[in-house]
Amino acid sequence: MLSKQHWYVIAFSGAYLALGGLYFARDFNLEFVIYVAVIVAIFAGVFATLRYTEFPVWMLWLLSVWGLMHVAGGAVPTSDGVLFAYRIYPVFDAGGEFYILKYDQVVHFCLYALVALMSYHVLRVPLRVVGYTFLVALAAALISLGVSGLNEIMEFLIAVNLEHHGVGGYENAMLDLCFNWAGAVIAVVLYVIWGDRKHLG
């Protein structure tokens, strides 16, 4: 049974996904129509398995906020094109796509930080892995990195099958993976330090 809090997350997510899907479909932006469909599938899978995964509501809200960040990334215009291409601050600029820091990189960092936390939760709570803190944290971070690899494969397939897309090239993909890994590692380290005291060992 879904609680009232779960339905709030579903309603909020459904509203912006429906609006985003209509917006991208109206502009014939097939790339982001696909992304919206993938987000819907992810949300459906997460909520359909809640009885087994027991994800806390705050994780579901963070997942929903990430979805909104992703939809906004393709819909909000900026001086660099759309929000996903927006260059926040020149922390490092080697020319071309080798630029840090962009909005897209922040989204990647946040998503795979969350995936690592969700993986860590599944290992600790439904699977009941107690102790072995370093190994559990490492496994959660590696699971997140593996999921991020699937995302890059999806972007590659979009790039080779759609004439118009904003996926980017090799340097963009490698920077994405670096931010994915950084988000995963930092998230699990902070969670172990501040949020997982009962499972330390």
Residue that terminates a domain, selected from 54, 75, 96:
75
| Closest among 87, 102, 81 to 29, alpha carbons compared | 81
Q: Which long-range contacts (CB under 8 A, 24 or more apart) does 27-34 make?
A: 29/74, 30/162, 31/74, 31/158, 31/162, 31/164, 31/165, 31/166, 31/167, 32/71, 32/74, 32/75, 34/158
Q: What pLDDT score does 201 carry?
A: 38
- In this structure, the answer to whether residues 96 and 166 fall within a common structural domain is yes
d(CA 120, CA 176): 21
Half-sphere exposure (Cβ direction) of 182: Cα atoms closer than 13 Å: 12
- In this structure, the answer to whether residues 156 and 108 fall within a common structural domain is yes
Return per-residue pLDDT of the chain as tens, 201 residues: 799 999 999 999 999 999 999 999 998 888 899 999 999 999 999 999 999 999 999 999 999 999 999 999 999 999 988 999 999 999 999 988 899 999 999 999 999 999 999 999 999 999 999 888 999 999 999 999 999 999 888 888 877 777 666 666 778 889 999 999 999 999 999 999 887 755 443
Residue that terminates a domain, selected from 24, 55, 75:
75
Domain that holds residue 23: 1-75
- In this structure, the answer to whether residues 132 and 162 fall within a common structural domain is yes
- In this structure, the answer to whether residues 154 and 183 fall within a common structural domain is yes
pTM of the model: 0.91
pLDDT in tens, 115-171: 999 999 999 999 999 888 999 999 999 999 999 999 888 888 877 777 666 666 778
Residue that terminates a domain, selected from 75, 108, 126:
75
- In this structure, the answer to whether residues 35 and 55 fall within a common structural domain is yes
Provide the 3-class DSSP secondary structure of residue 90: strand
Any domain includes 80: no
- In this structure, the answer to whether residues 115 and 189 fall within a common structural domain is yes
